[in-house]
Chains A and B, each alone.
Chain A
């Protein structure tokens, strides 16, 4: 994954095209292509538009009025959701921000250190360590959840914030990416020069290497942030106390209640809408970072 902010494609330096036919075929508007892209966009936007309109409906209107016709009860629905068990929903929101924010930050730091160590040092066992990490990328994470639960239960950490935070802090894929960023963006002579000037190891890492790796580390952070924000199975298994739930586990529980009391459905739908807003806003503002090359490659700043 490279965080390339590329400008408009630079036209090649060839002389003007010799044949007119070519340039006209290249510029001909591709109507079918446009239609296909718009159908894709509509398919992807449709559930979002639905949740926008559905969250404006009262419980009676939800199943009786036309699907995409909005109503006027959005504010009532938000008030009702906020009143649910003393604002439990907002606590879930705060929990999710805590799990994703702290977990992703710690994971990025751990990955940056390990990736830097792997890229910039020669030491015995380096190849073995890297292969273990590559294997770790392929381990299906959620298969680990049950043994993790049993082990954390032995030390009494289940049903705490730590039970979700600690397993989120290690990301073999993040280490793999950080190693590539470190190898590509921190030149050896810069490190050598800093050391020759007498800079301490931590200063070299913190003030020189980390800023050079920063564009890549932002991407590692975003990846891990989204992964934790979206995670369901880990907190679902680890947590019993609903005051510790993240939004995913909380809303899934609300939906379960809705099966017996359909009046809950409006709260579930309003909750779904509000939960999409923060990450949706994050995505739109950080659009330029979302150029994803899974096996990395060069990092251009």
Chain B
């Protein structure tokens, strides 16, 4: 086959090698179908089904699976205060976390890139280090640091005679969880933005520097606009991660009773599927979360005119 393709004119080569492309794509296609496409289709199917119970639900044939139409969705969206509550909590969590995390990541990246600051190598490694710590472990460490008997902050506050708020109380627990996300995520996003900053040719702002522009003005007027595509992508990925927050609240649960089993939408999906054995409404809720992610992602990308991925759509 090789010799044949070599011998044929250019068009023939392209056609033959084109067929080979399917060989390269085959493993990815099989895995994509089995572990992405099929689960999505299956979740859609389950979300439209339900179980009908005859009599006491005992014996053979007493429980039958039937089509349920959109009733699972109606229940998830309108009839279930647990779901709406979890959406509200995660919305607040995201509103606190994402702007803080990206704002700090941008600030740190600009300082790393600026000329004057010292201890940049040490700071870069230290701030990036939490990315190596799994969310479960991070939650565990912060969980202990939140306990009044361990927390150094509360100790200092107590010594100074300040109030010592219980960070795991109903009022603060969302912020306590957002802080864990911030700790784990700020370094990674900083590196993304910093990498984009390093790619800016210095001629771009050398002229401004010669004209006497301050470092702050250069950062704000030149550097931030140039790294906008990176900011867009970090925002997008942070938003997706926010919608599926699961490990942090699940890990903190044993330390406090202010985190319910339906604190985040995904925790509710987990409870429905495995505690209540109601895989149908769990599937409907998963589909709603996935759709919300798509709508938010594409809406956001449209809003910023697809600047991030556009150069790759060749």
Contacts and interface: CB of A to CB of B under 8 A. Distances in A.
A278 B119 CA distance: 25
Contacts of A146: 43, 269-270, 273, 279, 282-283, 286
Interface of A: 1-2, 4, 6, 9-12, 14, 17-19, 21-22, 25-30, 33-34, 36-38, 40-48, 50-51, 54, 62-63, 66-68, 109-111, 113-114, 116-118, 120-124, 126, 129, 132-134, 136, 138-144, 146-148, 150-151, 166-167, 169-170, 172, 175-176, 180, 195-196, 198, 200-201, 205, 226, 229-233, 236-237, 247-249, 251-252, 255-256, 258-259, 265, 268-269, 272, 275-276, 279-280, 282-284, 287, 290-297
Interface residues of B, number: 121
A17 B208 CA distance: 12
Given A138-B240, A248-B134, A293 B214 contact: no
Query: Lowest 10 A-B CB distances belong to which pairs?
Result: A30-B116, A117-B24, A121-B21, A147-B39, A114-B28, A41-B126, A33-B117, A170-B31, A123-B18, A37-B123
Interface of B: 2-3, 5-6, 13-14, 17-25, 27-29, 31-32, 34-36, 38-40, 42-43, 46, 104, 107-108, 111-112, 114-120, 122-123, 125-138, 140-145, 149-152, 155, 183, 186-188, 191-192, 194-196, 198-199, 202-203, 206, 209-210, 212, 214-215, 229-230, 233-234, 236-237, 240, 243-244, 246-247, 250-251, 254-255, 266, 269-270, 273-274, 279, 282-283, 286, 289-290, 293-294, 297-298, 308-309, 311-312
Contacts of B120: 37
Given A121-B20, A136-B36, A248 B43 contact: no
A54 B233 CA distance: 38
Given A148-B35, A166-B31, A233-B266, A21 B212 contact: yes
Q: Chain B binding site: helix, strand, loop or mixed by DSSP?
A: helix
A151 B138 CA distance: 31
B3 A198 contact: yes
A20 to B, nearest CB: 11
Given A44-B129, A142-B246, 11 more contacts: A4-B198, A10-B202, A41-B123, A138-B298, A147-B39, A147-B43, A150-B46, A249-B136, A255-B143, A292-B191, A293-B196
Given A21-B212, A22-B210, A295-B229, A29 B116 contact: yes
Nearest to B1: A201
Contact of A151 (B23, B38, B119, B127): B38
A220 B39 CA distance: 24
Contacts of B20: 117, 121, 201
A148 B188 CA distance: 29
Contact of A50 (B141, B250, B279): B141
B130 A147 contact: no
A61 to B, nearest CB: 11
B40 A147 contact: yes
Contacts of B43: 143-144, 146-147
B230 A294 contact: yes
A226 B187 CA distance: 14
A148 to B, nearest CB: 5
Given A63-B150, A233-B266, A292-B188, A121 B27 contact: no
28 contacts: A10-B202, A22-B212, A25-B212, A25-B215, A26-B209, A26-B215, A30-B114, A36-B117, A40-B186, A41-B123, A46-B145, A47-B141, A63-B150, A138-B240, A140-B240, A144-B36, A148-B35, A167-B35, A195-B2, A201-B20, A232-B247, A252-B140, A276-B137, A280-B129, A283-B131, A283-B132, A290-B128, A296-B312
